[in-house]
Amino acid sequence: MAAVRRMSALAHVPGVAELDPALTVAEHLRERALLQRRFGGSLRALLRPRAERAAQARARTDAAVAAAGLDLAALPKGARTAVRDLGRLEALRLSLALALIGRPRLVAVDDTDLKLSPAERDRAWALLRSVAAAGTTVLAVCAEAPEGAVVVRTGLDLRKGAADALAQTGRA
């Protein structure tokens, strides 16, 4: 499990990796950087001088925020904006930034297009494409896949002949 955690991260997954609405954006970023520094690195990294560790944490956080396209200055109260005051797209960007702090090779995002307008949906997909173009595999679950996406469907689609599929398997 530790190996899987080192190479993958969850961005927005309801019930598993959710943002705390009472915390601010800065508090979320600081908490993730502290957890990453404590549990995500080697023992040797823990023995480095405090100033060096803090500088590395800041650099990682800044890189993740930039990769997620989260503009802290554009938020209503900057980094002190509470998560409950974020729009859906900004919350998705924050979740993605938090996941990217650990520099994963795979990021999973659930409900990618939930409650997004068509324009916001386009921006969200552009964001995920940019993360993928930078070398991180993105697994996104959505209601409506964008043009050109690799689509994998699992389970039975009840709207398109589920009864026929059950009859063919002998479970009807």
Q: What is the pLDDT of residues 3-55, one digit of tens each?
A: 777 788 989 888 888 899 999 999 999 999 888 876 766 666 667 787 887 88
pLDDT digits 0-9 by tens, 128-143: 999 999 999 999 988 8
Rg from Cα positions in the chain? 19
pLDDT score for 160: 53
Note whether 108 and 4 are within 8 A (CB). no
pLDDT score for 166: 47
pLDDT digits 0-9 by tens, 75-110: 999 999 999 999 999 999 999 999 999 899 999 999
pTM (2 d.p.): 0.81
Note whether 114 and 106 are within 8 A (CB). no
User: What are the structural domains, with CATH classification, of the chain?
Assistant: 2-169 (3.40.50.300)
* Bridge partner list, 109: 140
Mean pLDDT of the chain: 84
Instruction: Give the residue, 149 or 39, on which the prediction is more confident.
Output: 149
